[in-house]
Amino acid sequence: MVNFKDDAFFRFFGPLAILQQSTIHPDELIKENCFTKLWATLKTISGKKERIDFLLAFCKPYLSDRHKIAVLLAEQKDPILDPIKNVAILTGLTARSLQTKQKEVFGYSAKESARYFRFLMAVQQIQAFTETGKKIDWFEIIAACGYYDQSQLIHDFRHFSGFTPAKYVKFQLDLCSSTI
């Protein structure tokens, strides 16, 4: 499996992939089965440094230069602040044009990104509570992570993990206690 960070997918395959409504296999975008060939070649290389060097050389012809707006948007990781407004101030562009550019270069909106980072922050807060053995203060997590209310926290947990926050905690505790 290949995971792409930020705008790497569209830098690799190009911006046309987002414009098409149907799902396209990555090999069809570049007219060859490159990932299967890549995987087979990587299996034959034993050293980590050699594998990394091979991967970098393999990707170089496919990667396009990163758009300057994409760099600014990728640096915006605060889930509470609005990244679009921050970049709009820095660049003098309108928020609407930046929203369009965000979706074009990343494949997801700034709102979706902020929601995901807020969820990750909540998971970190929950882990901090469980590591100390303290009872989880859900309202402290809601406030610290920028949620409006408890239902928004629950909705995000169901969306990203498939669990409610309480079931997520129970699952984590069951998982960790069974590995000891």
Rounded to two decimals, the pTM is: 0.60
- What's the rounded Cα separation, in Å, for the pair 154 and 19? 32
Residues 50-81 have pLDDT tens digits of 988 888 888 777 666 777 888 888 787 665 66
- Residue bearing the bigger pLDDT, 152 or 83: 152
160 pLDDT higher than 50: yes
Return the CATH fold of 112-178: Arc Repressor Mutant, subunit A (1.10.10)
35 pLDDT higher than 80: no
Residues 96-154 have pLDDT tens digits of 988 888 887 777 887 887 888 899 999 999 998 888 888 999 999 999 998 999 999 99
What separation in angstroms does the CA of 41 have from each of 28, 38, 44, 58, 74? 20, 5, 5, 11, 31
- What's the rounded Cα separation, in Å, for the pair 38 and 12? 14
Q: How many C-beta atoms surround the C-beta of residue 140 within 10 A? A: 11
User: What are the residue ranges spanned by the domains of the chain?
Assistant: 8-59, 68-107, 112-178
